[in-house]
Amino acid sequence: MLFSLHFSPPPVIAPLPFKPLSHVPHHHHHTLNMLPSTHVLKPPLCSTMEHFTLNHHGKGGEEEEEEVDQTLPLGLRREAMPRHVAVIMDGNRRWARSRDLPVRSGYEAGARSLRTIVELCCKWGIKVLSVFAFSSDNWFRPKVEVELLMSLFERGMQEDTGIFLRENIRVSVIGDLAKLPEALQELILNLEETTKNNTHFQLIVAVSYSGQYDVVQACQRLALKAKHGLVEPGDIDASLIEQELETYCSEFPHPDLLIRTSGEFRISNFMLWQLAYTELFFAQSLWPDFGEAEFLKALLAFQQRRRRYGG
Amino acid sequence: MDGNRRYTKRWNLMQGAGHKVGYSALMSMLKYCYELGVRYVTIYAFSIDNFKRTPEEVQSLMDLMLDKIEELLKDESIVNRYGIRVYFSGNLKLLNEPVRLAAERAMLATAKNSKAVLSICVAYTSTNEILHAVRESCEEKWDEITLLNSSGGYEPDEDVNLIKLTDIENHMYMAFAPDPDIIIRTSGETRLSNFLLWQSANSYLYSPSVLWPEIGFRQFLWVILNFQRIRVYLDKKRKQL
């Protein structure tokens, strides 16, 4: 077979096997399949308003077996919602630079984006959201920027405490917290303590965190236990490691879906062990631009995936 | 190398045919890699999770692996042509004896090759690899501590950092290879499926929708070009730090 040298962008999401709900311009995801595609591919670019319109037309229609869940946008099935979504919130600085704004504006816009997504998670029945706020590698950024980020975390936690309490949100912070400024450490401990009995939703913020760090610290804790005779090295198994990982603070420690924004196709040392079977979704938008429409797209794509776990 | 069974189904082939075509696709991809100067190629041949499949399917995959390992050892094979050293990474004790012995023979026979490396992950999952590395690190430290304790030279307060990152890394099955620059997963599934989790921290992830037996030079070229383009951007970013 002779292939033309015209390369279309590689698809990074599995094509969605249903017709688009609206005739709007869509992102192109060409397949590199040699064989004719059997699906109509394009994911719908929907807004919540459109869903209300469609719902209305759909009433009294052919498919009466399923109750339409009015709290979810059309197309999303409540029983197939991911329980734990993880996000690498990338692109804040690029967003600021592209608008000739200072880096601070990028991070502030990113914080607004995070609040939107937290709200949507609560509304749509997602139980846990983990966000990669600050990586172990980020300590190498310029001191001024690191200090800016630390102060933004402090401010964010102080300002949003009310929301967390009101919305029954539990906040957990994972990472090598000893590296953080003392004031921030104290704030974090207080916030975790204050919200620890909240049950509606859990927000896990990874600060000074990396997947490799998490495994190493789990291993160190196990080594300590072994040293004190609490466990034999030979008895160490996967579940013992799980118990020592920092995500053990959650009812659902493994993300079902990981979203990374800004078009980068890498994990960048976010949770490694916990991402073993996680569906990955790479969004082109920069984080401050990642809103409801794109989140919906990611969730719809997730619900189309066939998870086999090697079987 | 995902999509062999779907390929069989799509083309109405006999059971196992997809995997055979997949093997040819693999040989082609290896040739492209080694011709281009790629020194390390790692393939996910059989996951510990795959033992969950029907006994017939598992057996047929084991038979195929045995067959292909023998082929690799022949004089005219790709291994000799490109001077490839072969490693089998995984919990080899889980394999049946013929396959395990063949794997060990292949590793021994190619131990002197030094131009390139092919690591074949069988009976592998990343979590098992990490678990194994953690266990071995603890056992090693355990011996060290016991020795120090008996000679009275161990400070009981020195609990901090008993085990370091490097200890774990040294005990990984994949310790002989650097982290992959690129991870390709075919058939449109975008997940790691417990493959090289530890080593994938900074890898460029590419998930073309082609089924593995259909993969060709086009996808290979595409990922290399993209990788090189991003490499330039990443190097620039690193300099900015």
- Which residues, 6 or more positions from B79, have their beta carbon under 8 angstroms from its beta carbon? B72, B73, B86, B110, B113, B118
How many beta-carbon pairs below 8 A join chains A and B? 179
Chain segment A36-60, per-residue pLDDT in tens = 434 333 434 433 333 333 333 434 4
- pLDDT above 70 (res B144): yes
Chain A CB contacts of B180 under 8 Å are none
Cβ contact B206–A265 (<8 Å):
yes
Chain segment A102-118, per-residue pLDDT in tens = 999 999 999 999 999 99
A 246-275 near B (Cβ less than 8 A): 265-269, 272-273, 275
Output the average pLDDT for chain B.
Answer: 90
Q: What is the pLDDT of residue A25?
A: 41
3-class DSSP string for chain A = CCCCCCCCCCCCCCCCCCCCCCCCCCCCCCCCCCCCCCCCCCCCCCCHHHHHHHHHHHCCCCCCCCCCCCCCCCCCCHHHCCCEEEEECCCHHHHHHHCCCCHHHHHHHHHHHHHHHHHHHHHHCCCEEEEEEEEHHHHHCCHHHHHHHHHHHHHHHHHHHHHHHHCCEEEEEECCHHHCCHHHHHHHHHHHHHHCCCCCEEEEEEEEECHHHHHHHHHHHHHHHHHCCCCCHHHCCHHHHHHHCHHHHCCCCCCCEEEECCCCCCCCCCCCHHHCCCEEEECCCCHHHCCHHHHHHHHHHHHHCCCCCCC
pLDDT tier for residue B70 given thresholds of 50, 70 and 90: very high
Percentage of chain A modeled with pLDDT above 70:
77
Q: Which residue has the higher pLDDT, A113 or A22?
A: A113
Q: Cα distance from A43 to chain B (closest Cα, Å)?
A: 15
Residue of chain B whose alpha carbon sits nearest to that of A6: B218
Residue of chain B whose alpha carbon sits nearest to that of A263: B230
Q: Cα distance from A68 to chain B (closest Cα, Å)?
A: 29
Q: Cα distance from A10 to chain B (closest Cα, Å)?
A: 6
pLDDT tier for residue A2 given thresholds of 50, 70 and 90: very low
Judge whether A90 counts as a catalytic residue.
yes
Chain A CB contacts of B206 under 8 Å are 10, 12, 265
Tokens for B27, please give them. 């040989």
Q: What is the pLDDT of residue B73?
A: 86
Chain B CB contacts of A219 under 8 Å are 134, 137-138, 163, 168
Chain segment A230-269, per-residue pLDDT in tens = 888 888 999 999 999 999 999 999 999 999 999 999 999 9
Cβ contact B47–A33 (<8 Å):
no
Q: What is the pLDDT of residue B155?
A: 56
Q: What is the pLDDT of residue A74?
A: 80
Chain A CB contacts of B226 under 8 Å are 10
Q: Would an 8 Å CB–CB cutoff place B190 in contact with chain A?
A: yes
ipTM at complex level? 0.90
pLDDT tier for residue B86 given thresholds of 50, 70 and 90: very high
